[in-house]
């Protein structure tokens, strides 16, 4: 299998707090990997460093064999790395379909008619029906907004999509529709790196779970092994806390 992304010894500090202390992993074409870990463990920072929205202090992000931390034109690399945010971050002054096609039109300079077709296809993948295409973000539910945000990433035809807790800002009844859209996308062969605590999604879709704790990947492996047979004490504690939350204690 072809390697899409390799993260090598990534470090990042904010002032004196070291958030990432040497993170290493890779992800191959078509794979889905899930990152779990306590808040403050560096999960979001890791994702933001991968597409250089936050500049890492040292280490490498290698996309298709090219170290993009050393590249001058980061704008090119970002086109190949989709990003789905916790709070959707749709552009508020644009309709659903404009949010999806603005990337192809403005960044890739695709003709508008062609971009519209790309956008329509992407919106279909995430199950946004035609009657919503001309709605503005403020007129849509969180679940719909997040699925449009996923379509926005898809429309750029990226090599990999990073998801930063895509369902944690959603009401419980809206989580399913977003997870389904993500499953649909994974089944179509998209390479995905997902920060989430939706264990069901990880069990169904992930090739591997990475446990990120205090800035390093403490443990990794296939979902069943990680979830049912955690080795480190910290992962055991984290999972039992997660289970308690789910059961509502």
Partner 1 sequence: MQIFDFSVFSNVGGILYILKGAWYTLLLTFLSIGIGFLVGSLFAFCEVYLPSPFSFPFRAIGEILRGIPLLVFFLLLYFGLRLDMFTSAILGLGLRSAAYQAQIFRSSLEAINPGQLYAALSIGMTKFQVFREILLPQTIRIMIPGWSNEFITVLKDTSIAFVLGFSDLMTRADLISRSVGRYFEIYIFIALVYFLLVRLSTFALNRVYERIRIPGLGEKR
Contact set with partner 1 (CB under 8 A): 51, 53, 75-76, 78-79, 81-83, 85, 87, 89-93, 102-103, 106-108, 135-139, 149, 152-153, 156
- How far apart (Å, rounded) are the C-alpha atoms in residues 29 and 106? 27
Q: Shortest distance, CB of residue 86 to partner 1, whole angstroms?
A: 9
Helix (H, G, I), strand (E, B) or coil at 82: strand
Cα 242 to Cα 86, 184, 198, distances in angstroms: 19, 26, 10
Nearest CB to partner 1, comparing residues 110 and 203: 110
Contacts of 182 (CB under 8 A, 6+ apart): 150, 163, 166, 192, 194, 201, 205
Burial (0-12, 13-18, 19+ Cβ within 10 Å), 22: middle
Q: Shortest distance, CB of residue 143 to partner 1, whole angstroms?
A: 16
Q: Shortest distance, CB of residue 186 to partner 1, whole angstroms?
A: 20
Q: Shortest distance, CB of residue 20 to partner 1, whole angstroms?
A: 18
Nearest CB to partner 1, comparing residues 90 and 126: 90
Q: Which residue has the tokens 């070291």?
A: 18
Nearest CB to partner 1, comparing residues 81 and 125: 81
Nearest CB to partner 1, comparing residues 135 and 220: 135
Q: Shortest distance, CB of residue 15 to partner 1, whole angstroms?
A: 18
Nearest CB to partner 1, comparing residues 155 and 186: 155
Contacts of 161 (CB under 8 A, 6+ apart): 81, 82, 83, 84, 150, 153, 154, 185, 190, 191, 192, 193
Residues belonging to the chain: 249
Nearest CB to partner 1, comparing residues 105 and 175: 105
Q: Shortest distance, CB of residue 56 to partner 1, whole angstroms?
A: 16
Of 10, 47, 20, nearest to 192 by C-alpha is 47
- How far apart (Å, rounded) are the C-alpha atoms in residues 160 and 234? 29
The β-bridge partners of 219 are: 211
Q: How far is CA 163 from the centre of its chain?
A: 1
Nearest CB to partner 1, comparing residues 53 and 187: 53
Q: Shortest distance, CB of residue 5 to partner 1, whole angstroms?
A: 15
């Amino acid at each position: 299998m072809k390697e899409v992304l390799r993260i090598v010894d990534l470090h990042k500090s904010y002032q004196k707090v070291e958030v990432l202390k040497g993170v290493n992993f890779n992800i191959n074409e078509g794979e889905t990997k899930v990152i779990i870990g306590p808040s403050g463990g560096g999960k979001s920072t890791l994702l933001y460093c991968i597409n250089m929205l936050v500049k890492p202090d040292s280490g490498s992000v290698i996309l298709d064999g090219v170290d993009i931390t050393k590249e001058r034109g980061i704008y090119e690399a970002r086109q190949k790395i989709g990003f789905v945010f916790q709070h959707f971050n749709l552009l508020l002054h644009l309709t659903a379909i404009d949010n999806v096609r603005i990337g192809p039109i403005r960044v890739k300079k695709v003709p508008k008619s062609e971009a519209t077709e790309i956008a329509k296809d992407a919106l279909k993948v995430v199950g946004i029906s035609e009657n919503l295409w001309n709605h503005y973000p403020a007129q849509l539910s969180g679940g719909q907004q997040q699925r449009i945000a996923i379509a926005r990433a898809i429309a750029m035809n990226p090599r990999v999509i990073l998801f930063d807790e895509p369902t944690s800002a959603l009401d419980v009844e809206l989580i399913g529709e977003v997870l389904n859209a993500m499953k649909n996308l994974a089944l179509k062969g998209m390479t995905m790196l997902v920060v989430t605590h939706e264990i069901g999604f990880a069990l169904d879709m992930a090739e591997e779970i990475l446990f990120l704790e205090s800035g390093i990947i403490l443990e990794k492996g296939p979902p069943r092994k990680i979830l049912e047979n955690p080795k480190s004490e910290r992962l055991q504690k984290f999972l039992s806390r997660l289970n308690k939350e789910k059961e509502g204690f």
